Amino acid sequence: MPIALVTGAGGRLGEVIARHLARNGYQVIVHVNKSRAQGNKLTREIVREGNKAVLASCDFSRPASVTKFFDKIAGQHGVPDLIVNNASTFDYDFPGKASETILNRSLAIHVSVPFLLLELAFKAASRRHPITVVNILDQKVINLNPDYFSYTLSKAALQAATVMLAQSLAPQVRVCGVAPGVTMVSGPMTDDEFAKARTLTPLQRSSTPQDIARAVRFLIESPAITGTTLMVDGGQHLQAQARDVLFIANPTKEH
């Protein structure tokens, strides 16, 4: 049975991806940090459905802990066949109101940890045991605006890394990306703002968590694809936005 490590799987999008993979034949390593209770619940539910899952915890704001985390997984369960880099942090900052703390945390979780996991995966991979990596990005990496500056900057760095690592780690490792649009209520967004924001795309709908999970699975099952990012966002990346969609949905919102 192939093994999938899904980071940030204790809730939200990571939980949906983990469930989808478990139902499609993967033993899922459910990574959590602070969401241990949610992760334990998810793991038990996956097992009750007759599938396989185990919990693994690590604080990705401290990249130095990643090697021990990966080695423990590989030693106890085997080297993952799939790594979904979904773990994320989403805190507001803006040029002129910058936060070095937010920037450093964003870079650690969105850039340093995925890079280290890929390095470790490459060392463990072989032509007989290739590894697929899917980085969860954001349509904001194409449709740039300065809101959520540190988040966007670090996701853009991860998108660039997706290309460069795909170039350098083939054929042992494939590296792809999935870039969602407005998928779940995030940050200070209200339910009404979320409902409106989801319609602000050419298709007048944005992505659902299930859309993203299916896109991840598509990339897994497409061995000729590497270095590519799928934009799964209703076309949101096609229309320039001077502000984050939160402030377009509600122009009176304070930032």
- Digit-coded pLDDT (tens) for 45-70: 999 999 999 999 999 999 999 999 99
Pairing mode of beta strands 173-180, 131-136: parallel
* In-domain check, residue 247: no
Q: Is the confidence at residue 76, as pLDDT, over 70?
A: yes
Domain range for 112: 3-184+207-234
Reported residue count of the chain is 255
pLDDT digits (tens, 9 = 90+) for 160-208: 999 999 999 999 999 999 999 999 998 889 999 999 999 999 999 999 9
251 located within any domain: no
Banded pLDDT at 255 (limits 50, 70, 90): low
**Other beta carbons less than 10 A from residue 42's beta carbon:** 25
Q: In angstroms, how far apart are the furthest CA atoms of the chain?
A: 56
Name the domain count of the chain. 1
Q: Is residue 150 part of a domain?
A: yes
Prediction pTM value: 0.97
Residue 80 within any structural domain of the chain: yes
The CATH number assigned to the domain holding 115 equals 3.40.50.720
CA distances from 17 to 56, 177, 193 (A): 16, 14, 25
Contact status, residue 55 vs residue 37, Cβ threshold 8 Å: no
Q: Is residue 97 part of a domain?
A: yes
CA 26 vs CA 2, 4, 23, 57, 103: distances in Å: 5, 6, 7, 19, 34
For the segment 148-171, what is each residue's pLDDT rounded down to a tens digit?
Answer: 999 999 999 999 999 999 999 999
Residue 119 resides in a domain:
yes
